Every structure is written in C-alpha cells, then in structure tokens.
Amino acid sequence: GAVVSQHPSRVICKSGTSVKIECRSLDFQATTMFWYRQFPKKSLMLMATSNEGSKATYEQGVEKDKFLINHASLTLSTLTVTSAHPEDSSFYICSAPGQGKGYEQFFGPGTRLTVL
Amino acid sequence: GQNIDQPTEMTATEGAIVQINCTYQTSGFNGLFWYQQHAGEAPTFLSYNVLDGLEEKGRFSSFLSRSKGYSYLLLKELQMKDSASYLCAVRDGRGSYIPTFGRGTSLIVHP
C-alpha cells in the first residue's frame, strides 16, 4: 500500500511558539491530503483538507489562522500550529487517499504535540 | 449530519472470535471502512464495504447491511497483537470521499 510519512513524531514546545508538522506521500502523488486531530480515547476529528496549489478547506470550528496549512507540492503538506497553547496538545495525523476501490485513507504515523 | 455508534470497549480471549458492531445514520451512503489503530499509532486500513454482504480477508471479515445501517467486524483466532482500537468510518452520499469516523472500540485480548 501507499506510504505516508509524518515529521516530527513527537514535539514538546513552550506556550506561544509555533510548530510545523510535515506530511509526505513517499511513493505516490497526493493532490489532496487531510489533517486530523485525535484526543485520548476519542475519534479522529477532521480539521481540514489540504489541496495542492490552492487554499485548504477547513472544517467548521477550526481556526484557519491558528492552524496554517500549506500544500506546496504533490508530495508534501504542512500544518503549522501558530502561537500554540496547552489546549492545542493533541495527536495530529495526516492522511492521503489511495487509489483503491474505496479511496481508503493512508495515514501518517502521527505527531504527538505537547504544549507546556 | 452523521451519527456513528460502536461499543467503547470489548474484551476477548486469545484464540476466540469477537464481533465488533457499528451502527450509523447518514445522509446517503457511499461506503463503510474499518481501521485498526494501536495505541499511539496511526490507523491502518482493514476493510471496505459498499454493497451488502460479507467481505472476508484472512482472519478478519466485515459485514454490511445498508437497509439496517449496520456493519460488523469479525475477528477470528484472536491474537494478543489484535489488542487495539477498531474504528468504523462511514462515507455519506454528499460527494466527498472523506469518511466520518466513529469513536472506536478498544479491544483487549487476554491470554
């Protein structure tokens, strides 16, 4: 299956700083990628759809100025958490759709963000 | 909107069979997925159903009944490594191929 990488896997930062998370499709091109957030024992919450060469589409309630998304190439999307606060601490996961019959999602390994 | 319901937690014995149910209410329907997620890791794709019936893949099988808004994931010959969260995800009929995920069922397999 398709491989999606994500970097960093873990990050600890101070409140007020910005953190960039990279999501790469390693063996295929992805014009669209998705960013999710997951709290402990909770479901994956779709934050936004990242579109190569155009603006991201944000889900209702997600602040686009807080969570900046850039999809600069067919293999890379980045999520920047700006001016991070402790409530932004979470597990962030990106995914890209495959080419299978159901367009199943291939997920990156996730990034554990802890804001002190 | 969408409503996806699955049990929070289940326990089973190594070597046994377990069935994890998922019920959903959506505006239209365009496929149901099951994913496995180990603690601290990303979900991995298990199965996809869009038509009624049973899809078998090794030790795992997935069933769908669209008229009942119901699916189950069947795990046979349970192994300790099957301890994980199992996510049911449903894609509605609005044209987007992005599914909505349920909260997941935490399966604990004990010796």
Residues on chain A touching B62 (C-beta within 8 angstroms): none
pLDDT band, very low/low/confident/very high, at B77 (cuts 50, 70, 90): very high
Question: Is A44 close to B43, i.e. CB distance below 8 A?
Answer: yes
CA-nearest of B76, B99, B74, B77 to B88 is B99
Give the gap in angstroms from C-alpha B103 to the nearest C-alpha of chain A. 4
More confident: B73 or B30: B73
Question: Is B102 close to A97, i.e. CB distance below 8 A?
Answer: no
Question: Is B101 close to A43, i.e. CB distance below 8 A?
Answer: yes
Cα–Cα separations (whole angstroms), residue B86 to A70, B62, B78: 31, 12, 14
B50 close contact with A: CB closer than 8 A: yes
Residues on chain B touching A42 (C-beta within 8 angstroms): 103
**In the predicted model, is pLDDT for residue B111 greater than 60?**
yes
The two structure tokens encoding residue B52: 């009624």
Q: Which helix (H) or strand (E) holds B71?
A: strand B70-75
Q: What is the pLDDT of residue A72?
A: 84
B45 close contact with A: CB closer than 8 A: yes
Question: For A56-101, what is each residue's pLDDT tens digit?
Answer: 999 999 999 999 999 989 999 999 999 999 999 999 999 998 776 6
**In the predicted model, is pLDDT for residue B96 greater than 70?**
no
Question: Is B98 close to A34, i.e. CB distance below 8 A?
Answer: yes
B87 close contact with A: CB closer than 8 A: yes
Give the gap in angstroms from C-alpha B48 to the nearest C-alpha of chain A. 6
Question: For A32-47, what is each residue's pLDDT tens digit?
Answer: 999 999 988 788 899 9
Distance CA B27, CA A68 (A): 30
Q: What is the pLDDT of residue B82?
A: 98
